[in-house]
């Protein structure tokens, strides 16, 4: 019985060692693989050399645009404690008329880009920005490194409006001008 037990342990150890060293036939990308790929995206193709004229604020573009309209929208990155869509070049922007917490004297909010002081106005003053490639797919990249933006950056985005049934606005972005970080 002791020999049987030791044989089973040795077979188990050999199987574990072989299993750990064997490479899978098909591998799915890990988070680190995706971040390496994200850093390889050339964001300069989306950066506009100068600020386009005629950009509307988020509220105006939400009110006036229809599906597939070409739009220019200006806003600040924010709207929640994490305005970024993980693994994608996508984020939310907020109308410049709303005050971020750091715009309120004496407010020491740790995430001023969440606009927690503007909760009643926020739902109708935001837009989702998605940077898309030539096939219309959302770019798999970190927009902060790809575009040089951060929370509360003021930006002008050029793109195509997409509307949902609830009236929410998504801009399929083809260009960005960073006004202020």
Please check whether residue 90 lies inside any domain of the structure.
yes
Distance CA 69, CA 72 (A): 10
CB burial of 13-41 (b: ≥16 within 10 Å; e: otherwise) equals eeeeeeeeeeeeeeeeeeeeeeeeebeeb
Instruction: Kindly state the percentage of the chain with pLDDT values over 90.
Output: 69
- Mean pLDDT, the chain, rounded, equals 83
pLDDT at res. 115: 94
Instruction: Count the domains in the chain.
Output: 2
Tell me, yes or no, whether 10 and 69 share the same domain.
no
Distance CA 71, CA 5 (A): 72
pLDDT at res. 107: 87
* pLDDT tens for each residue of 99-158: 999 998 888 889 999 999 888 899 999 999 999 999 999 999 999 999 999 999 999 999
Q: By mean pLDDT, which of 31-35, 51-55, 94-98, 115-119 is the weakest?
A: 31-35
**Which domain CATH number covers 129?**
2.40.50.140
Distance CA 61, CA 56 (A): 6
Please check whether residue 143 lies inside any domain of the structure.
yes
Q: List C-alpha distances in Å: 61 to 1, 13, 152, 153.
A: 78, 64, 19, 19
Alpha-carbon dihedral sign for residues 118, 171, 152, 75? negative
pLDDT at 51 over 70: yes
Q: By mean pLDDT, which of 12-16, 36-40, 84-88, 142-146 is the weakest?
A: 12-16
Please check whether residue 16 lies inside any domain of the structure.
yes
What confidence category does residue 180 fall into, taking pLDDT thresholds of 50, 70 and 90?
confident
State the residue range of the domain holding 24. Answer: 2-31
Please check whether residue 36 lies inside any domain of the structure.
no
Please check whether residue 73 lies inside any domain of the structure.
yes
Please check whether residue 99 lies inside any domain of the structure.
yes
Tell me, yes or no, whether 85 and 131 share the same domain.
yes
pLDDT at 38 over 90: no
């Amino acid at each position: 019985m002791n020999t049987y037990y030791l044989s089973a342990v040795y077979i188990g150890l050999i199987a574990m060692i072989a299993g750990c060293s064997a490479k899978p036939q098909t591998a799915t990308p890990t988070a680190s693989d995706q971040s390496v790929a994200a850093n390889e995206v050339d964001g300069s193709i989306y950066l506009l050399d100068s600020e386009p004229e005629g950009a509307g604020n988020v509220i105006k573009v939400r009110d006036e645009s229809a599906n597939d309209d070409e739009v220019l929208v200006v806003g600040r990155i924010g709207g929640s404690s994490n305005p970024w869509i993980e693994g994608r070049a996508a984020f939310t922007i907020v109308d410049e008329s709303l005050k971020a917490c750091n715009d309120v004297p004496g407010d020491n909010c740790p995430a001023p880009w969440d606009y927690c002081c503007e909760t009643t106005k926020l739902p109708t003053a935001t837009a989702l920005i998605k940077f898309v490639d030539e096939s219309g797919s959302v770019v798999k990249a970190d927009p902060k490194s790809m575009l040089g933006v951060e929370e509360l950056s003021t930006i002008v985005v050029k793109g195509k409006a997409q509307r949902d049934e609830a009236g929410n606005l998504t801009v399929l972005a083809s260009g960005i001008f960073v006004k202020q970080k």
